[in-house]
Amino acid sequence: MGDLFSKEEKTLCHLQQDCGNKFRGCNYHPPDWKNWMSGLNLEKVHLNKVVWPGTHNLAANDVEIPVITRPFAKCQSLSIYYQLEKGTRIVDIRVQEDRLVCHEILKNYSVDFVIQDIKKFLSETQSEIIILEIRTEYGHNDPPKFDKYLKNQLAEFLIHQDDHVFEKTIAELLPKRIICVWKLRNSPHPEAGDALWHAGAAEQDFFLKLQ
């Protein structure tokens, strides 16, 4: 993986030399953040040319013990839905055995609320694509049958594993809308072509296709 990050760093250096920015389009300010991907040229813009705004611990907007833990555990103040509405397209979620969202030892609401907010957002938009990364938090075991849960909940939106997905245009993926990466601890990895992505497949494909 070190070689992949080294290649990415060289790419960013070349961009800065060519156009004075670390990312092409970083000065782009869409009039509607909720639908900013829809404002791109869907038939020509490939996924590996998109700068993906992401949120760390997206669902840690209510993980806290007042006064004691807030500075360390509460990563966000907005709900999942409003973060998506503000432009976030990479979603980082941590879960524990009972499907509660957590941040290390502190737990929050059920992952059902995350799924509901994502589906609500997708129902109100047409061309926004989300990279949904869900991982079992360190020190916890995977929720039982969680892969089946994700597939049942998100079936109509899931973009299946594809070695060339980041070389495709946004239009080529639609109406599918979610690349769901399941970072598990001890369950079997999703197989090639599965509706869920395992971490190695997603990260390797993304960084190899980043030009």
- Cβ partners under 8 Å of residue 64, min gap 6: 70, 73, 74, 106
Least confident among 30-34, 135-139, 175-179, 194-198? 135-139
Q: What is the pTM of this model?
A: 0.76
Q: Do residues 80 and 153 both lie within one domain?
A: yes
Residue 183 clears pLDDT 90, i.e. is over it: no
Domain that holds residue 5: 1-30
115 and 69, same structural domain?
yes
Q: Tens digit of pLDDT for each residue in 99-149?
A: 888 655 556 678 999 999 999 999 999 999 999 999 888 888 899 999 999
User: Whose CA is closest to 121, among 169, 180, 80?
Assistant: 80
Catalytic residues: 56, 103
Q: What is the number of other CB atoms lying within 10 angstroms of the CB of residue 52?
A: 13
Task: Give strand pairing partners of 95.
Answer: 101, 136
Mark whether 71 and 37 lie in a shared domain.
yes
Which is higher by pLDDT, 101 or 17?
101
Do 110 and 158 reside in the same domain of the chain? yes
Q: Which two tokens stand for residue 22?
A: 């670390």
21-32 pLDDT per residue, tens? 555 666 677 889
> DSSP strand E in the chain: where?
54-55, 90-95, 100-103, 106-110, 130-136, 178-183
Q: How many domains does the chain have?
A: 2
